[in-house]
Structure 1
Amino acid sequence: MTKTICIILTILAFTGCSSDRTEPTPTPAESMYFPPLTGNTWETKSMTDLKWNQAAVQPLLDYLELKHSKSFIILVNGRIVMENYFNGHSPTTNWYWASAGKTLTSTITGIAQQENLLNINDKISKYLGTGWTSETLAQENLITCKHLLTMTSGLDDSTDDVDPASLIYKADAGTRWAYHNVYVKLQDAVAKASGQTWENYFNAKLRDKIGMNGTWVQLGVNSVYTSTSRSMARFGLLMLNKGKWDKTQILDETYFNEATNTSQNINLGYGYLWWLNGKANYHLPQSQLTFSGSIIPTAPNDMFMALGKNDQKIYVIPNKNMVIIRMGDAADNVNLALSDFDKVLWEKISALYQ
């Protein structure tokens, strides 16, 4: 009897505990938002809801304006948290991406591969024909599409020109990292492989599918993309979501992962025309020096970046579901894709949420 009573009391005790205890309901993760393909509708998110530091906003805006910015956008989960324009710029003004647009070429190359139009492991002469460089046939045949994506063609980078006379042997493909305009040959390869103009293929496979505006403009040897800041933000949002726009996988996720991770063992901070933060070391354009540490030490380590001359920026930060856009003139006298501007800017951005 005593044993039975103990069992009953034990059961009642556990029952009482379970009925008295209310488990907290977890806050559901906010869904990712994608703006409509047409129109100006774009959901916003308040800093109050995010519990961000309002006092950090004005110092950030003052710095952006001081540094010749034209636009600045922060997205969190696809929603606009900040959108500011300076110096006569507006939401409808187009501006050039400069080398930040290299990431568009990377993305379209991946799309062409998933459509079985080309293979990035093929030699580039399969699509361009031989004699597109001044190298010997054996040297030229070493250069693959992937070498152009990773800046390891081995071609002399002392000139921006990409005519055959300017594309001179410096090292075997894959053995030297050097920032070079020769990546534009990927646009020619896609055009040849698809049987379309580069711009028509780009518009159909990427621009129109995510609601971007913009056009390609020929500036010297470069085909430079120009668009609104929101169009740049749309592309950043696509890449935040690993090549997926809403329910449509536009860029294969496997290729996306290759593009946004270290692509070779010379410059750890470089993927397929994307810059990568948080690596052990990196190289800069026009230099063969290896710099230790993260490219932007004040920014999140998981960030990957599209960076262009005169400080055109797309920052994608996966662990914060965040995309940041900056367009404008050069922040300082240094006109490279990377400068001290990034370091200070990220100190001010981080003050918003830390």
Structure 2
Amino acid sequence: MKILKRILLLLAVLLTLTVIYNYPKLNMLSGYSAKNTASSVFLAERSLELTDTIDNNFSPVNLASDKVDKENEVAISSAFGLLTRKAIYREGLGAVLMLDESDATAPYLIPKRIKPDNNTPFPYGNAPQKDTVFTNVDYNRLEKALNYLFEQENKTRAGIVIYKNQIIAERYADGFDENSKLLGWSMTKSITGTIFGILQSQRKLNVQDKAPIDSWQNDSRKNITIHNLLQMNSGLAWDENYEEISDATRMLFLERNMAKEQEKKQLVGKPNQTWNYSSGTSNLLSGILRSQFKTHQEYLDFWYTNLIDKIGMNSMTVEADLAGNYIGSSYAWATARDWAKFGLLYLHRGNWNGTQVFDESWTDYIVEPTPTSDGWYGAHFWLNTSGRYPDVSRKMFFASGYQGQNVFILPDEELVIVRMGLTKNANINEFLKGVTEAIK
């Protein structure tokens, strides 16, 4: 009997030590699952079953068990019953992980939205487009390109090809359609960057100015400009790793004010000489944007009235952290068609149906390659300058997000191509090559 008690005591100690050692990973696992479940069920209006089957069905997130409280709009995820995280949905601000039970009842402001235009045909409204058949488009070849994209192992959920403002190909995976809201992940960074373009065009700021961060003014970080931040070229330390406990995962799953995390980091390089991709930088930029407005309500409204709703991306929601900052690095949801509208805005160099949303020069600015990025990055947009996609125009630029979210803009070909997926394993070069070769 004594031996059994000792064995049980030893097992209990080992279990406790295991939990303590793996606590941060369990926190990340259950945090990801709770946040994604709340957004998927309450914002994207998908079922819990579909969410667990598709969105959360990858290792190690699929080890968490999820449930939802529909009445209170809360998602609850448990990692082996050892650690539980909750995420709450807030109308207009999306879902957010709770850090304290009082977060469930804390007051918050919501952005004012513009009424959707459901009478004007796509892309300038949400009514059905006026179909056009282009004699120079090989539609059979176009379908073959989509067939490849939607092969089972490529895990594509939405694909759209727009040529001369016209959808010429569109397809969705089972369970999704043109009304399905899809998470853009880091494509949100391009939304954040565009807000700076709008403010600069309105002469309300200059991106070449020093970043207005008080805590940097007594050390060498005071020389970092907004431009450096937009190009991810500040020289600040940051660990962008989603497979381990990192700066990025701690920020997204453990912090109340995500705009502050990059601010705390010290220089490990020199501004304009040390490119380092950082979600913390994008959230720092969101915090800088917030400081440009007299009130928090103005900050919340501006993103929608001056960009998102202005070009009819009415399905989009940019989620906010517990401190009220838009999570400009990662959390914008929209239909594939609305993501395509964002691409069209850049294809037309900021002009939306006759209205200049931002100066044409902003498009030139965001495609200027960042020093030390090997021609791969501009200002919160990715580039093909170095030919990473060898069979596609080097003038192509694009928004890109985790698990294969992309809005590709090809100016010379008058194309916008959207792919929303759950893996980056697909040969996107082959897909893009097939699309471009279908247009003679």
TM-score w.r.t. the length of structure 1 is: 0.76
Equivalences for residues 51-66 of structure 1 within 5 A = 51-58=137-144, 60-66=146-152
Q: Is the 8 A contact 1:113 1:120 kept in 2?
A: yes
SS at match of 2:438: helix
User: Match of 1:295, as an amino acid?
Assistant: R
* Corresponding residue of 2:243: none
- Note the C-alpha offset of 1:142: 1.2
Structure 2 residue identity aligned to 1:260: V
Q: Could you tell me which of 275, 285, 300 is aligned with 1:177? A: 275
1:239 is matched with which residue? 346
Query: What are the superposed Cα offsets for residues 130-166 of structure 1, whole Å, 9 maximum, x if unpaired?
Result: 12x6xx8222201110011001111112222452685
Instruction: Give the match's secondary structure for 1:184.
Output: helix
**Structure 2 CA distance, aligned partners of 1:250 and 1:56?**
32
Preserved contact between residue 37 and residue 209 of structure 1 (Cα < 8 Å): no
Name the aligned partner's letter for residue 391 of structure 2: T
Q: Distance in 1 between matches of 2:402 and 2:271?
A: 26
Write the distance in 2 (CA, Å) between the matches of 1:36 and 1:316.
15
**Residue 195 in 1 paired to residue 281 in 2?**
no
User: CA 1:186 to 1:73, structure 2 compared with 1: closer, same or farther past 3 Å?
Assistant: same
Name the structure 2 match of 1:50.
136
Are the aligned partners of 2:190 and 2:399 in contact in 1 as well (CA < 8 Å)?
yes
- Note if 1:100 corresponds to 2:187: yes
SS of equivalent residue, structure 1 residue 206: helix
Pair 269,212 (structure 1): closer, same or farther in 2 beyond 3 Å: same
Check conservation: 1:65, 1:86, Cα contact below 8 A.
no
Which amino acid in the other structure matches residue 140 of structure 1?
R
CA distance in 2, matches of 1:306, 1:269: 12
Written as runs of structure 1 = structure 2, the 5 A alignment for 1:126-137 is 126=212, 129-131=213-215, 137=218
SS at match of 1:152: coil
Distance verdict in 2 for CA 1:79–1:165, change over 3 Å: closer
Q: Out of 195, 198, 205, which is 1:118 matched to? A: 205
Q: Which residue of 2 aligns with 1:141?
A: 222
2:188 touches 2:331 (CA, 8 Å); kept in 1? yes
TM-superposed deviation, 1:185: 1.5
Tell me which residue corresponds to 1:10.
Answer: none
**Which residue does 1:156 correspond to in 2?**
237
Would the alpha carbon gap of residues 120 and 320 (structure 1) be closer, same or farther in structure 2, given more than 3 Å must change? same
Deviations 1:303-343 (A, max 9, x none): 111111110001111111110001121143xxxxxxx6322
Question: 1:82 Cα shift?
Answer: 0.6
Cα distance change of structure 1 residues 62 and 341 upon mapping to structure 2, 3 Å threshold: closer
C-alpha separation in 2, matches of 1:301 and 1:164: 32
Find the counterpart in structure 2 of residue 301 from structure 1. 394
Report what 2:336 is aligned to.
229
**Could you list the runs of 5+ residues in structure 2 that have no partner in the other structure?**
1-119, 240-246, 252-259
Corresponding position: 1:217 with 2:327? no
Aligned to 2:43: none
SS of corresponding position for 1:74: strand
Q: How many residues align?
A: 294
Report the 3-state secondary structure (helix = DSSP H, G, I; strand = E; otherwise coil) of the residue aligned with 1:297: coil
Change (3 A) 1:113 1:56: closer
Aligned amino acid, residue 323 of structure 1: V
Cα deviations by residue, 1:38-60 (Å, 9 ceiling, x for unpaired): 4322233335x234151451353
Residue 118 of structure 1 and its aligned partner are, at CA, apart by 1.8
- Higher radius of gyration, 1 or 2: 1
Give the residue type in structure 2 aligned to 1:217.
E
Distance in 2 of aligned mates of 1:303 and 1:59: 18
Deviation at 1:78, TM superposition (A): 0.6
Describe the shift of the 1:201–1:296 C-alpha distance in structure 2 as closer, same or farther (beyond 3 A). Answer: same
For the structure 1 residues 194 and 177, does the alpha-carbon distance in structure 2 shift closer, same or farther, using more than 3 Å as the test? Answer: same
Query: Would you say the 8 A contact 1:244–1:251 is kept in 2?
Result: yes
Cα distance in 1 between the residues matched to 2:352 and 2:376: 26
TM-superposition CA deviations, 1:83-105 (whole Å, max 9, x none): 11113111111011111121111
User: Superposed, which structure 2 residues align to 1:223-302 within 5 Å?
Assistant: 223-264=330-371, 266-279=373-386, 294-302=387-395
In the alignment, the residues of structure 1 paired with residue 439 and residue 294 of structure 2 have an alpha-carbon distance, to the nearest angstrom, of 48
Unaligned stretches of 5+ in structure 1?
1-32, 280-293, 333-339
Aligned-partner residue type, residue 250 of structure 1:
V
Question: What's the CA shift for 1:270?
Answer: 1.6
Name the structure 2 match of 1:186: 285
Letter in 2 for 1:347: K
Q: Secondary structure at the match of 1:320?
A: coil
The SS at the match of 1:194 is coil
Q: 1: CA distance between counterparts of 2:127 and 2:295?
A: 30
Q: Retained in 2: the 8 A contact 1:69–1:331? A: no
Question: Which residue does 1:288 correspond to in 2?
Answer: none
Q: Distance in 2 between matches of 1:322 and 1:165?
A: 38
CA RMSD of aligned residues (A): 2.4
Structure 1 counterpart of 2:265:
167
Equivalent position of 1:336 in the other structure: none
Distance 2:137 2:401 in 1: 32
